[in-house]
Structure 1
Amino acid sequence: MLQRVTMAACATIALGLATTAANATVYTATLSGAIEAPPNESPGTGSVTVDFDIATHTMTIDVTFSGLLAPTTAAHIHCCTAAPETGTAGVATELPTFTGFPTGVTSGTYSHVFDTSLAATWNPNFVTNFGGGTIAGAEAAFMAGLESGTAYLNLHTEFAPGGEIRGFLQPVPEPATFALLALGAPVVLLAARRRRGK
Structure 2
Amino acid sequence: MKRFISLLALALAMVATPAAFADTLYYRATMSGPAEAPPNASPGYGVAFFIVDDVALTMSMNVPFFDLLGTTTAAHIHCCTADPLMGTAGVATATPSFPEFPSGVTTGLYERTFSLADASFYNPAYITANGGTVDAARAALLSGLASNQGYFNIHTSQYPGGEIRGFLVAAPIPEPSTWGMLVLGIGALGLWGRRRRT
TM-score (norm 1): 0.76
In the TM superposition, what is the alpha-carbon distance from 1:54 to its structure 2 partner? 2.3
Cα RMSD (Å): 1.4
In the TM superposition, what is the alpha-carbon distance from 1:139 to its structure 2 partner? 1.1
Count of aligned positions:
156
Q: Which residue of 2 aligns with 1:96?
A: 96
Does residue 158 of structure 1 match 2:157? Answer: yes
Q: Which residue of 1 aligns with 2:113?
A: 113
Cα distance between partner residues in 2 of 1:36 and 1:79: 14
Q: Which residue of 1 aligns with 2:29?
A: 29
Q: Tell me, what secondary structure is at the counterpart of 2:83?
A: coil
Deviations 1:35-88 (A, max 9, x none): 000000000011111111222111101100111001000000000000011110
Cα distance between partner residues in 2 of 1:31 and 1:126: 23
Cα distance between partner residues in 2 of 1:158 and 1:174: 35
Contact 1:54 1:139 in 2 (8 A): no
Alignment of 1:132-171 (within 5 A): 132-171=131-170
Amino acid at match of 1:140: A
Q: Tell me, what secondary structure is at the counterpart of 1:56?
A: coil
Cα distance between partner residues in 2 of 1:93 and 1:125: 10
Segments of 5+ residues of structure 1 without an aligned counterpart are 1-19, 177-198
Q: Tell me, what secondary structure is at the counterpart of 2:30?
A: strand
Identity within the alignment, %: 51
Q: Which residue of 1 aligns with 2:124?
A: 124
TM-score (norm 2): 0.76
In the TM superposition, what is the alpha-carbon distance from 1:116 to its structure 2 partner? 1.2
Contact 1:34 1:41 in 2 (8 A): yes
Looking at CA atoms only, which structure, 1 or 2, has the larger radius of gyration? 1
